[in-house]
Amino acid sequence: AQKVTQAQTEISVVEKEDVTLDCVYETRDTTYYLFWYKQPPSGELVFLIRRNSFDEQNEISGRYSWNFQKSTSSFNFTITASQVVDSAVYFCALSELIQGAQKLVFGQGTRLTINP
Amino acid sequence: DTGVSQNPRHKITKRGQNVTFRCDPISEHNRLYWYRQTLGQGPEFLTYFQNEAQLEKSRLLSDRFSAERPKGSFSTLEIQRTEQGDSAMYLCASSSGPTTAYGYTFGSGTRLTVV
């Protein structure tokens, strides 16, 4: 079965430091999608990125960047020059084929605290 | 496009009572999903509808849980005889196609507390 592992349960850094959140996955599907979501204290899931398994190009969006390495089944997320507003729980997720659709399999999340 | 709407946002109920949650997907989305998120965990898939047909159910969905999607529009999730272990955030998502390339939008969730 598909599995997502986020080994870092909690990370705490000082503002302006760079921080990397790790994500390792297991899948039997040949085509799949990987996601990162942010969950602030209010509880809603904020979509950050979706990546197709055939596209291994790294992506940068402002202070956020993602490193997808199929060879090691990893999809890591880096925040550069972190800010207090980045404090949240971050989830990595993997799509899994079901009848006529795909469901998401989530990791356990990494709680990121940015201290001023 | 007003996004995925879930009601109520919060629900407190006594153990043994029945509760019902509602999810209104994005209007053109024919696929609807329910997830449950307990404290300190990631969301876990519960069930999925394509139009009005319920095509997949997780083993997490015990006999006390029932979901419907009449006419393929909004969906309801009912929990009968609630237990303290049912306390969680219940999330709904919708999509317009067979893969997540068609989009996968989550609602803000209903937080259930069973006392």
Interval A30-82: pLDDT, tens? 889 999 999 998 888 999 999 999 988 888 899 999 999 999 999 999 999 99
Which backbone phi and psi does B85 adopt, to 5 degrees?
-70, -10
User: Tens of pLDDT along chain B (115 residues)?
Assistant: 579 999 999 999 999 999 999 999 999 899 999 999 999 999 999 999 999 999 999 998 899 999 999 988 999 999 999 999 999 999 999 998 877 777 789 999 999 999 9
Q: Tell me, yes or no, if A27 comes closer than 8 A to chain B by beta carbon.
A: no
Q: Tell me, yes or no, if A35 comes closer than 8 A to chain B by beta carbon.
A: yes
Collect all residues of chain B within an 8 Å Cβ-Cβ radius of residue A43: 89, 108-109, 111
The mean pLDDT of chain A is: 94
Pick from A4, A33, A43: which is nearest to B100 by CB? A33
Q: Where are the beta strands (DSSP E) in A1-116?
A: 3-5, 10-14, 19-21, 24-26, 33-39, 46-52, 59-61, 64-69, 74-79, 88-98, 101-106, 110-115
pLDDT digits (tens, 9 = 90+) for A88-100: 999 999 999 888 8
